[in-house]
Structure 1
Amino acid sequence: MTPPLWLHQVELLAGPQQSATSCDALLAPDGSLLAWGEGATQQAQALGLAPRLAKGWLLAPLLVDPHSVLEQASGGRAEDLTSLAEAAAAGGYGTVALLPWASPWRDQPEKLGLSWPAPMQLELWGSFSIGGANQELAPHGDQLAAGAIGLAGTDQVPPLALMERGLLLGEMGRSPVLLAPRDAGLSGGGFVREGVETLRAGWHPDPVLSEILPLQSLLSLAELRPEARLALMNLATAAGVGLLRQAPRRPMATVGWWHLLADSGNLDPSAEGWRLCPSLGAPRDREALITALADGVLTAVAVHHLPLDAEEILLPLDQRRAGLAGHGGRHGLVLPLLWDELVRRRSWPVQRLWQALSWGGSELLGREPEQLRAGSRRWLLFDPNHGWSWDRQGCPSRAANHPLRGKQLVGGIRASGLIPAAKWTI
């Protein structure tokens, strides 16, 4: 019988409002967290176990992705339900909430029957409009009764009259309504945010107004309908952050992970990661988003995983669908890259990063925050100094539009209750 694993001097973050402390922890071969602290040390010594020095590693609750996309649950060329679960688990994500953007569109109760085996948690957003066409309201109450976490729109704001009608009916109660502050009609076909860097690179610019004008409408609606839990999807500009800061009634808001790492001034013109929705911003946009996330003006970081297959990424950039895959790699991409940017370079405390990657997502979804519990498999073990190279071999996700292919990365998931112990790299 395989004995438990004794981690010695691991940094442990048990939950929100707590600080990371150095202690011992005991992991069972079935992936459950048996104990930590003095109790773990005593149990390990009583069993005659040899300690595994884990100094500098972090044992923490799982991450939460408040919105991503899966177009085909089975038979998808770029991703399916199984491959997405494996990719999310590899990156430390124990909860993923899927938008209704699918084929067929998930806008009816009978289309909300997707699930993952425990301890993974799959949440489903219902649709605000039928077919995502922004013409007629979908059956809000029926979707929520069938288990939808809330209601979500498309990648652009619905017409004001449709939003007002939906909120006035109030079938969503206190469930969140997630809407994107974006008007494609104002973007002029641009796909990189306007700025000096965009003009120098020769990209067609997307004006800031394509976010600002719909955002003003949404903020006004949030003030007029305080009973509704309105949430903003993927804020992307410094001007948008400024409006949100000044709002008398500030709704919850997400930011895409790649917008915190890349901008039109630091991304190579040939790199993957330019074609996004909302558009990639200028350096000032990225700095404003990071500051707003640190201040709590932005609630959570979304992976907003939108996988494309190998054929789609061969298209010219201006003809390709906008989107980036984030759940992928043997150890995931989001946590290592944001750890490097925010903790290592900007000296964020670990608790602040977990607020952005885990607890903020739980808050937006209306769920209890993730925390370590004895006997639970919902934990991850992260090594900030683990070096590895991103390649397709061993990557659970089949998506082809991952950034940083072939790049050397630092930081990775060593183990998790979501991953079989045979695959732990300890």
Structure 2
Amino acid sequence: MLTLTNIRRPGSTTPETVTLDNGVITGWNLPPEGQIIDGQGGTVAPALIELHAHLREPGQEVKEDLESGLAAAAAGGYGTVVSMPNTSPVVDDPATVRALIEKANRLGFARLRPAAALTRGQLGEQLAELATLKEAGAAMFTDDGRTNEDARVLRLGLEYAGSLGMVVSVHAEDASLRQGGVMNEGVVSEELGLPGNPGAAEAARVARDIEIAALTGARLHIQHLSTARALDLVREGKRRGVPVTCEVCPHHLTLTDEALRGFDAMYKVAPPLRTQVDADYLLQGLLDGTVDCLATDHAPHTRAEKEQDLLSAPFGIPSIEVAFPLLWTRFGEQLGLEKLLDLFTGGAARVMGWPEPGLEPGQPADLVVLDLNTERPVDPATFRSKAKFSPWAGQPLRGWPLLTLVNGQVAYQRQ
């Protein structure tokens, strides 16, 4: 039994208490029982859900591992994390899925729901054993980290996944158009003399994949959408009744290709940072409901890797610990708290076909308590992630988590 006191539900100014037992919410404003935790006047909400994080285990633990990654997620307010399978080896067999889940459960931080590879070795040639991967606990299928170049294989994968009631998530870029692009193709790349990745690479692949989803009737989720044109294609697909959903990441909303003028590989991501026009259009997609959810694409690397030149450094930004504060500070006024929370929670659940989280009695006791008003600077030295660097370092943000509970247990508490 655990009781949170001095908390406020979204939109309320009245302090309340909530009691939790056996992993569920048992009631509001009951006499306190069991362990009592002071919520410090914070706003309570369902714990955030992350559909796209790279936790690097197995095989890349120098960058991140389950312990550091799931601790970072809990510090960011996340109760559930879907990890990507582009590890070493690739997560394409049931034993690995089970081992990851078992280890994560022992750690006691955010809950892990591993994604499994759609194809063996993520090579895009032969489907993985999708049914047995689902039985082992795989949450979705994706070859993220690689693009699905063979349309027939993607079709077969969508059909098979659809028969299992599973989502296929795709990194939608045409590899032949992207080539060796290290940043957005446009004015800035031309001025810097760097190889560009055109927005058409994303749009062309989104268009193809939506057509395949329409053909199969299976659920397709577009990852880390970055361009206005691709968003329009998703909007059109939804109007036609195609079962397509999409996510947008904090870096594509708050950073642009102008950040690359300093030749700093910290800003090298895939798909690349686009223009301010694209960022503004993505924000409108959040407002009008075209974008289904927010995801981080948390992609930790070693500092030495990211200090290489732009041509050599790996793609990726670590962001799971700052995602909610960043977007609450930047866009809270435009989006409103209810909408922003839904993009981090209910929207992700709807993409996956999971029950929508809530605060009513009987709901799972996955909760986050947020300090919406106090500004604190981003300090990468305090990150739980092994990637202790950030494009937003030093920026004052509001909305930091005070407490994260998973299954009624404390996964994170700010000291």
Identify whether the pair has TM-score above 0.5, normalized to the shorter chain: yes
SS where residue 318 of structure 2 aligns? coil
Report the CA distance between 1:314 and its aligned residue: 2.0
SS where residue 125 of structure 2 aligns? coil
Please tell me whether the aligned partners of residues 61 and 371 of structure 1 are also in contact (alpha carbons under 8 angstroms): yes
Please tell me whether the aligned partners of residues 140 and 171 of structure 1 are also in contact (alpha carbons under 8 angstroms): no
Gaps of 5+ in 2: none
Please tell me whether the aligned partners of residues 272 and 404 of structure 1 are also in contact (alpha carbons under 8 angstroms): no
Further displaced range: 191-200 or 296-305: 191-200
Corresponding residue for residue 96 of structure 2: 111
* Residue identity in the other structure for 1:294: L
Report the CA distance between 1:35 and its aligned residue: 4.5
Q: Following superposition of structure 1 onto structure 2, how do residues 62-73 of structure 1 map, counting pairs within 5 Å?
A: 62-73=47-58
Report the CA distance between 1:147 and its aligned residue: 1.5
SS where residue 52 of structure 2 aligns? strand
Corresponding residue for residue 356 of structure 1: 343
Further displaced range: 268-277 or 231-240: 268-277
Q: Following superposition of structure 1 onto structure 2, how do residues 327-366 of structure 1 map, counting pairs within 5 Å?
A: 327=320, 332-344=321-333, 346=334, 348-366=335-353
Alignment of 1:139 with 2:119, yes or no, is no
Corresponding residue for residue 225 of structure 1: 216
CA distance in 2 between counterparts of 1:94 and 1:244 reads 28
Corresponding residue for residue 322 of structure 1: 315
Alignment of 1:395 with 2:361, yes or no, is no
Listed one character per residue, the Cα deviations across residues 132-157 of structure 1 (whole Å, up to 9, x for unaligned) are 11121111111112211121123323
SS where residue 213 of structure 2 aligns? helix
Alignment of 1:249 with 2:237, yes or no, is no
Q: Following superposition of structure 1 onto structure 2, how do residues 206-285 of structure 1 map, counting pairs within 5 Å?
A: 206-226=197-217, 228-247=218-237, 248-250=240-242, 251-265=244-258, 269=262, 273-285=266-278
SS where residue 221 of structure 2 aligns? strand
* Residue identity in the other structure for 2:5: W
Q: Following superposition of structure 1 onto structure 2, how do residues 154-173 of structure 1 map, counting pairs within 5 Å?
A: 154=144, 155-169=146-160, 172-173=163-164
Name whichever structure is richer in helix by fraction.
2
CA distance in 2 between counterparts of 1:321 and 1:194 reads 18
Please tell me whether the aligned partners of residues 74 and 412 of structure 2 are also in contact (alpha carbons under 8 angstroms): no
CA distance in 1 between counterparts of 2:207 and 2:39 reads 54
Q: Which TM-score applies when normalising by structure 1? A: 0.84
Distance 1:53 1:336, change over 3 A: closer
Distance 1:363 1:188, change over 3 A: same
Further displaced range: 398-407 or 292-301: 398-407
* Residue identity in the other structure for 2:66: L
Report the CA distance between 1:239 and its aligned residue: 0.9
Listed one character per residue, the Cα deviations across residues 88-112 of structure 1 (whole Å, up to 9, x for unaligned) are 0001000000111111101111110
Report the CA distance between 1:356 and its aligned residue: 1.0
SS where residue 72 of structure 1 aligns? coil
CA distance in 2 between counterparts of 1:337 and 1:258 reads 10
Alignment of 1:148 with 2:138, yes or no, is yes
CA distance in 2 between counterparts of 1:408 and 1:271 reads 22
CA distance in 2 between counterparts of 1:141 and 1:282 reads 41
Q: Which TM-score applies when normalising by structure 2? A: 0.87
SS where residue 22 of structure 1 aligns? coil
Report the CA distance between 1:21 and its aligned residue: 2.7
Please tell me whether the aligned partners of residues 260 and 290 of structure 1 are also in contact (alpha carbons under 8 angstroms): yes
Please tell me whether the aligned partners of residues 26 and 33 of structure 1 are also in contact (alpha carbons under 8 angstroms): no
* Structure whose CA Rg is larger: 1
Please tell me whether the aligned partners of residues 124 and 148 of structure 1 are also in contact (alpha carbons under 8 angstroms): yes
CA distance in 2 between counterparts of 1:416 and 1:224 reads 42
Instruction: Give the alignment's Cα RMSD to 1 decimal.
Output: 3.1
2:399 pairs with one of 411, 414, 421? 411
Further displaced range: 282-291 or 407-416: 407-416
Distance 1:381 1:170, change over 3 A: closer
